[in-house]
Amino acid sequence: MSDSSRRALAVLGATGSIGRSTLDVVARNPERFDVVALAANRDVDGLYKQILQFKPRYAVMADSASAAALEGQLKSADIQVEVLAGPQALVDIAQLDSVDTVMAAIVGAAGLPSALAAAQAGKRLLLANKESLVVAGQLLMDAVVASGCELLPIDSEHNAVFQCWPHGGASAKQVRRILLTASGGPFREWTVEQMAAATPEQAVAHPNWSMGAKISVDSASMMNKGLEVIEACWLFNCQHQQVDVVVHPKSIVHSMVEYIDGSVLAELGHPDMRTPIAHAMAWPERVESGVGLFDLTQAGALEFFPPDEVRFPCLRLAREASDACGAAPAALNAANEIAVELFLNRKVGFSKIAEIVETVLNAKAWATEQHDSLAALLEVDREARALATQTAEKITLSV
Ligand code: NDP
* Residue 217, pLDDT score: 97
Is the pLDDT assigned to residue 2 strictly greater than 90?
no
Residue nearest atom 31 of ligand 1, based on CA coordinates: 107
Mutating to test ligand 1, I would choose from 17, 42, 127 the residue with most ligand atoms within 8 A of its C-beta, which is 17
* Residue 229, pLDDT score: 98
Mean per-residue pLDDT, 309-318: 97
For residue 155, the ligand 1 atom closest to its alpha carbon is 43
Residue nearest atom 5 of ligand 1, based on CA coordinates: 16
Rounded CA separation 223/336 (Å): 8
Domain with CATH 1.10.1740.10 in the chain: 169-269+307-398
Residue nearest atom 2 of ligand 1, based on CA coordinates: 212
Give 263 Cα–ligand 1 centroid separation in angstroms: 36
Q: Is the CB of 273 under 6 A from ligand 1?
A: yes
Give 213 Cα–ligand 1 centroid separation in angstroms: 9
Give 90 Cα–ligand 1 centroid separation in angstroms: 14
Give 110 Cα–ligand 1 centroid separation in angstroms: 10
Q: Is the CB of 91 under 6 A from ligand 1?
A: no
Q: What is the CATH number of domain 3-153?
A: 3.40.50.720
How long, in residues, is the chain? 399
Q: Is the CB of 42 under 6 A from ligand 1?
A: yes
For residue 87, the ligand 1 atom closest to its alpha carbon is 19
Proportion of the chain above pLDDT 90, given as a percent: 94
* Residue 399, pLDDT score: 66
Q: Is the CB of 105 under 6 A from ligand 1?
A: yes
Q: Enumerate the β-bridge partners of residue 35.
A: 9
Helix axes 17-28, 44-54, angle to 10 degrees: 10
Backbone Cα Rg of the chain: 21
Closest by CA to 198, choosing from 349, 353, 355, is: 349
In this structure, which topology does domain 169-269+307-398 adopt according to CATH?
Rna Polymerase Sigma Factor; Chain: A (1.10.1740)
Rounded CA separation 41/63 (Å): 5
Give 211 Cα–ligand 1 centroid separation in angstroms: 9
pLDDT, tens digit (0-9, with 9 covering 90-100), for 19-63: 999 999 999 999 999 999 999 999 999 999 999 999 999 999 999
pLDDT, tens digit (0-9, with 9 covering 90-100), for 356-378: 999 999 999 999 999 999 999 99
Question: How does residue 125 score in pLDDT terms, banded at 50, 70 and 90?
Answer: very high
- Residue 225 sits at the vertex; the CA angle it makes with 304 and 135, to the nearest 5 degrees, is 160
Domain with CATH 3.40.50.720 in the chain: 3-153
Strand order in the sheet with 7-12: 82-85, 58-61, 33-40, 7-12, 101-104, 124-127, 150-153
